[in-house]
Amino acid sequence: MADNVYDAIVIGSGISGGWAAKELTEKGLKTIMLERGRNVEHIKDYHANKDTWEYPHRGGRTKQMEKDYPVLKRDYPLNEKNLDFWVNEKESPYTEVKRFDWYRGYHVGGRSLMWGRQSYRFSDLDFEANIKDGHGTDWPIRYADIAPWYSYAEKWAGISGNRDGLDVLPDGDFLPAMDFNVVEKDLAARLQKEYNGKRHFIMGRTANITRPHHGRVNCQYQNQCWLGCNFGAYFSTQSSTLPPAVATGNLTLRPFSIVTRILYDKDTQKATGVEIVDAETNQTYEFHAKVIFVCASAFNSTWVLMNSATDVWEGGLGSSSGELGHNAMDHHFRCGASGTVEGYEDKYIFGRRPTGLYVPRFVNVPGDDKKRDYVRGFGYQGAASRGRWSGEVAEMSVGGDWKDAMLEPGSWSVGFGAFGEILPYHENRIYLDKDKKDKWGLPVLAMDMEIKDNELKMRPDMMDEMKDMLEKIGVKNVSTYDSIYGFGQGIHEMGTARMGTDSKNSVLNKHNQVWDAKNVFVTDGAAMTSGACVNPSLTYMALTARAVDFAVSELKKGNL
Amino acid sequence: MNRREAIQRVAMLIGGSVIGANLFLEGCTRPATKEVAVLFEKDTMNFLGDLAEAILPETSTPGAKEAGVGEFIPVMIRDCYDPQDQKAFLEGLDGVDERSKKEFGKKFQELSKDEQLQFVNMLDKEAKEFQKERGQKQSELAEDAEPLPNHFFHMLKQITLTGFFTSEVGMTKALRYVKIPGKYDGNYPYKKGERAFAP
């Protein structure tokens, strides 16, 4: 048994788990990181070397793939190029009480390998949102509590961006931003002028490094991040948090380790360790430690807590408040506006930039005079670009002249898609479906959540505001779109084990510590008390580093 | 077995039973049915290559045939299309020479380049009309209704475009391909006539 004793256990190896492992090992704790899936080795297991023409279907999807991946096929993730980065849906099913799209990555690095890399700080507008409009419960922290940890995370992860000086989107410790293209630059200037400096097209802040950074090579503008980057130019567990953790000599990484439950001791009211099933051998093992970090991705972290039910906590570890599994969130999107830009025919783009423009939230913020019939707000991601000519004209749509025309760049276009906040509704929840089992005989999650009136009222504005902006700055042929959002499609699952001010209203305290078991910390998306409208991963990094700092100081004081 | 026989078999398989249709789709790598397997015969791939070449011919840059589109089409039809589309594709392909004879008095491969262009132009117009009507019909059906088959030429053209622009020839010899750009320049000079960068 002694072999199975560590100072700390980290469940999960994605963005949050990787950070937990790095911080714990650097602070001297012997740590085991348990990952349910296979190992993915940096560079060796990536797909960046392979060209499109080397794939039999050129990266597309086959009918067999659609059959095997009924969820993935609902959006872009189902493709031939990085299929092995996505979960096997047959082995790991779940129950959709209502439609829920769950895009998972069960392997070392988790979704840090495929993530969108947009990295934004929450502001006090976000941390105070719940208390001000009465939806959800109050965050137990404010911006000042997390700001130093945002800096800490940014400095290691490497976030490129400009310091734009906007209250709604606090600046960070950035590497130099990527460049605007010529059209974006002009449109951004016109927007500033039209809206008297109240609205902005800023460069997307992204976890792609723009100069060498902690031994990693800067971005080479291939924009193939989700195949894995041989340069380590975007943040992932493999490129950024795993190497320093390994370097301490304190880390044990164990792939194929599905944590089935956290072992809880009633007398001490603490966890003693975890039980796992080996995904390859089906053998059960126990690991013991003084402190446990649950970073299995939002809903799977909550699954681990729920599946750790005892006679003390029948609803699972951390269920005393009645909030475990509740207040599930995502970002709703897939609507926006686009149009064409005249001129600039003597300008083109060299290189493929792995980020675009960002439009920080401008609705329901100080200075927004318009009355809105919804609370909270949205931001936009988009870009201007010059694609290939692909026009279908009646006179010419086959033959050599047509082909030659298609080999030239077309006109410039610009488009933006909005990402909106979803309120933390208590009734949006997940729970264990004990009637359905996965490949290992474990109960699966049932998803029961939907967007409601507030989000539905926000969506027309998400289209119309952009349409107005684009038209005001001279974009032509502006049209809006709403391609219908399925809950989960944002791949920003949040909530279900929220932080709060009191053990009666939340699962976690202000240090991400489970109220009911103080040596258990949950620091991924599960912890979120509200979702804001910005991409959430940077906040998980900051919360994780902050929680480890607290946990280790408590350990030293003998409080855990 | 000729293509006409093959098509009849597909028809039987589809019309025959639901179980048959399911079997049709199973397996790790999708086995080609005998009918679709016809597409992989050397002559057929050559024929497909010539059709694709008429859509995207060699100009100052290589055409679809050199880009291997004739070999790519069977793979796509086998793996990426529903049985009703496979059937429509095989039927359409089977009718090409007959139609060509009717219009020009010669088989497709015996036509001059100009005649081939005229021919595919004609099919293209018909396909567009067909697809418009198909869309209309589909919209009148229930939302979960089986998709109606696409026009043979519509599929041929789509796969030709995809196949060409994602091929090594298409990406590196027709378009400009820079695998590792190393930098981003959003104010890059462009002169009319210069080719686009591959994505």
Mind telling me how many Å the CA of B167 is from chain A's nearest CA? 5
Q: Could you say which of B182, B184, B188 has the minimum Cβ distance to residue A178?
A: B184
Would you tell me which residues 79-138 of chain B have a C-beta closer than 8 angstroms to some C-beta of chain A? 79-82, 117, 120-121, 124
The answer as to whether A391 is a domain residue is yes
Tally of domains in chain A: 1
Per-residue b/e over A455-468, b at no fewer than 16 CB within 10 Å?
beebbebbbebbbe
pLDDT of A323 strictly over 60: yes
pLDDT of B27 strictly over 90: no
* Domain hosting residue A166, numbered range: 161-204+331-421+451-486
Q: Do B183 and A350 touch (CB under 8 A)?
A: yes
Look-up: residue for tokens 């829920």? A100
What single string gives the DSSP state of each residue in A278-340?
ETTT--EEEEE-SEEEE-S-HHHHHHHHHTT--SS-TT-TT-TTS-TT-S-B-EE-SEEEEEE
CB pairs under 8 A between A and B: 142
Q: Determine the length of chain A.
A: 560
Please calculate the CA angle A558-A6-A242 and round it to the nearest 5 degrees. 110
The answer as to whether A316 is a domain residue is no
Residues A78 and A69: their CA atoms lie apart, in Å, by 7
Q: What is the pLDDT of residues B55-113, one digit of tens each?
A: 999 999 999 999 999 999 999 999 999 999 999 999 999 999 999 999 999 999 999 99
Question: Which positions in chain B touch A348 (Cβ < 8 Å)?
Answer: 188-190, 194, 197
Indicate if ipTM > 0.90.
yes
The answer as to whether A468 is a domain residue is yes
Does the beta carbon of A67 lie under 8 angstroms from any beta carbon of chain B? yes
Mutation target for B interface from A220, A222, A403: give the one with most B CBs within 10 A: A403
Handedness of CA B132, B134, B138, B141 (dihedral sign): positive
Task: Grade residue A387 by pLDDT with cuts at 50, 70 and 90.
Answer: confident
Q: Which of A511, A491, A484 is nearest to A500 (CA)?
A: A511
pLDDT of B124 strictly over 90: yes
Mind telling me how many Å the CA of A544 is from chain B's nearest CA? 33
Mean pLDDT of chain B: 87
A494 strand-pairing partners? A329
The answer as to whether A550 is a domain residue is no
Phi-psi region of B121 (alpha: psi -120 to 50; beta: other; left: phi over 0): alpha
The answer as to whether A279 is a domain residue is no
A340 strand-pairing partners? A413, A476
Q: Which of A91-95, A311-315, A321-325, B151-155 has the lowest mean pLDDT?
A: A311-315
Does the beta carbon of A61 lie under 8 angstroms from any beta carbon of chain B? yes
Does the beta carbon of B57 lie under 8 angstroms from any beta carbon of chain A? yes
The answer to whether A138 and A501 have CB atoms below 8 angstroms apart is yes
The answer as to whether A481 is a domain residue is yes
Q: What is the pLDDT of residues A161-181, one digit of tens each?
A: 999 999 999 999 999 999 999
Q: Could you say which of A62, A178, A349 has the minimum Cβ distance to residue B79?
A: A62
Q: What is the pLDDT of residues A274-306, one digit of tens each?
A: 999 999 999 999 999 999 999 999 999 999 999
Q: Which of A222, A235, A229 is nearest to A44 (CA)?
A: A229
The answer as to whether A433 is a domain residue is no
Does the beta carbon of A404 lie under 8 angstroms from any beta carbon of chain B? yes
pTM of the predicted structure, to 2 decimals: 0.94
**Three-state SS annotation for A217-285:** CCCCCCCCHHHCCCCCCECCHHHHHHHHHHHCCCEEEECCEEEEEEEEECCCCEEEEEEEEECCCCCEE
Mutation target for B interface from A88, A210, A350, A386: give the one with most B CBs within 10 A: A350
Per-residue pLDDT, A494: 98
Mind telling me how many Å the CA of A481 is from chain B's nearest CA? 19
Q: What is the pLDDT of residues A32-48, one digit of tens each?
A: 999 999 999 999 999 99
Mutation target for A interface from B178, B185, B194: give the one with most A CBs within 10 A: B185
Does the beta carbon of A351 lie under 8 angstroms from any beta carbon of chain B? yes
Task: Grade residue B4 by pLDDT with cuts at 50, 70 and 90.
Answer: very low
Mind telling me how many Å the CA of A162 is from chain B's nearest CA? 16
Residues A125 and A131: their CA atoms lie apart, in Å, by 11
Q: Could you give the dihedral angle defined by the CA atoms of residues A519, A523, A526 and A528, in that order, rounded to the nearest 10 degrees?
A: 120
The answer as to whether A381 is a domain residue is yes
Mind telling me how many Å the CA of A357 is from chain B's nearest CA? 13
Per-residue pLDDT, A432: 98
Question: Which positions in chain A touch B81 (Cβ < 8 Å)?
Answer: 63
Mind telling me how many Å the CA of A308 is from chain B's nearest CA? 37
